[in-house]
Amino acid sequence: MGQKALITGATGLLGRQVLAAFQAAQWDVVGTGFSRAQSPSIRKVDLYDTWAVDEVLHEVRPEVIVHCAANRFPDKCDADPSGAQALNVHATRNLAKEASARNILLIYISTDYVFPGTEGEAPYEVDAPTDPPNLYGQTKLEGEKALHEETDGTGLSLVLRVPVLYGKCETPAESAVNVLLEQVWKAQEEERQGHNAASKKIKMDDWALRYPTNTEDVARVIQDLAVMYLSESSEARRAQLPRLLHFSSEDRFTKYEICQLLAEILGLPLDGMMPDGKGNDPGKGVQRPYDCHLSTKALKELGIRVHTQDFKAWW
């Protein structure tokens, strides 16, 4: 029997690919979910329930947990602050406490939104000062802190920060990148209805810089890290490994530029859409960072492969 892994959020955009990557590497892997969990492939586990977490860890006895479960949509976090705090922070602390008591490596997936994204600051190294621009980034940063507090001195925790993700989806809405396909098609409808006036066209952000990264690449990096960290049987040697790492594609786009590329691939015009370069309106909605590009320097120094799929070619 191979090594054992437990993947939380295994029904989600990233979790599905992480589960597949560990399976392909011949691990004995179990996925957990909640609202979309379907037995027997995915176990339904309420991460807020200490007893339920204790039970699944006792039964599976994993050597590594990859914690993908999260409220990862900034607008949804603002709409439900207590729910975002519960999943991104309290459930993470609960899982970290249980993992630490059993000497299980816990890999926590975090975000580039822990950084302010102020123009001229990126790329961010792992030791760069954090200052989240919105509640989503704040709760993920608090989740990082909870993890480190519960696993301090064990050498059995790792935070991996990643940017906006795209990849194989059950629905386009799972990804802030894939969902732009719907906007490209909506722009066709606007054009057909003769909405040539600027006020009628779809306005698409052409200000914030994004680095869309494929979920298969993230899953590969996570699996490689699990192998590396578990290979260090000595607690002293494990403690010398980084507790915080960044992974990101180098492909850079605004949302409008992504829509332009998708329209080009589909052979569609984009006359029903117009670029919006104004940036954040401080008085409206969730604030987004300008540029949160993550440096992969620390990963490279570990010898982890950081290549990514070409964004245009993937589509």
> Would you please indicate which residues are annotated as catalytic (active-site) residues?
136
Distances (CA, A) of 197 to 129, 156, 183, 255, 259: 44, 57, 18, 21, 19
Spatial contact of 2 and 28, defined as CB atoms under 8 Å apart? yes
- Most distant CA atoms of the chain, gap in Å: 68
| DSSP secondary structure string for all residues of 89-104 | IIHHHHHHHHHHHTT-
Q: Is residue 210 a contact partner of residue 255, using CB atoms and an 8 Å limit?
A: yes
Our measurement of the distance from residue 62's CA atom to the centroid of its chain's CA atoms, rounded to an integer in Å, reads 22
Query: Is 111 in contact with 47 (CB distance < 8 Å)?
Result: no
Supply the DSSP string of 115-139, one letter for each residue: S---TTTPSBPTTSPP--SSHHHHH
Tell me if 291 sits within 8 A of 122, measured CB to CB: yes
In the numeric block, which tokens belong to residue 165? Answer: 């993700």
In sequence order, what DSSP letters do the residues of 168-180 get, joined into one string? Answer: --SSGGGSTTTTH
Are residues 110 and 54 in contact, defined by beta-carbon separation less than 8 angstroms?
A: no
DSSP single-letter state for residue 291: B
C-alpha span between 187 and 196 (Å, rounded): 11
Asked whether 85 and 139 are in contact (CB, 8 A), the reply is: yes
